[in-house]
Amino acid sequence: MKKIIGLIIIMTLVVIMLSTYIKNQVDKSKAIDENAIGYEIDLEEEGLEKGQLAPDFTLKTLSGDTFKLSDLKGKKVVLNFWATWCPPCKIEMPHLQEYYDQYAKQENVEIVGINITYNKDSVKRVQQFVNSYELTFPILLMEEKGVDDLYQILTIPSTFMIDTEGRIQHHIVGPLDQKKLEEYVTNLN
């Protein structure tokens, strides 16, 4: 009987310690600096090469249409991987939308958001997110793993800057603000 009580006490302490640890990790992720800006990744370190053709893919849009990346050849492309549960993604979305509204047409730019749907989100949740941020650029659903592997996505948000020839020029990890977005897009040809 004493062994059982001792085991229950130990299990309770372990649960309390784990709960405290998890709560601290969640609190840290919520305390992301609103002014945080993404940083560029060296493409060669990822196995991707600057100037290589962006891996092509076909995904469904939130509205159910088919979207193929290579159809955007001739446009500058901001390819953004994100999720509804990602705090930095929430920080970044208004900047992406503002840039899209103000500059996309005149700068020949298409912003494409790829929601990593298979990872936690349902289509309904993605639609609620899109509605709450009033997003009007194309939102694609990655309902199965695959495109994230092509682009070697380890962290979100992750954004690829693709030039008019369909070649990757930059990979930025972390949230972009409108100013930084403008700088990257301006330097694309």
**Contact yes or no for 39/174 (Cβ under 8 A):** yes
**Contact yes or no for 183/176 (Cβ under 8 A):** no
Out of 59, 62, 77, 89, the active site residue is 89
DSSP the chain: -HHHHHHHHHHHHHHHHHHHHHHHHHHHHHT--TT---EE--HHHHT--TTSBPPP-EEEETTS-EEEGGGGTTSEEEEEEE-TT-HHHHHHHHHHHHHHHHHHHHHTEEEEEEE-GGGS--HHHHHHHHHHHT--S-EEE--SSSHHHHTT--SSSEEEEE-TTSBEEEEEESPPPHHHHHHHHHT--
Is 89 a known active-site residue?
yes
Active site positions, annotated: 89
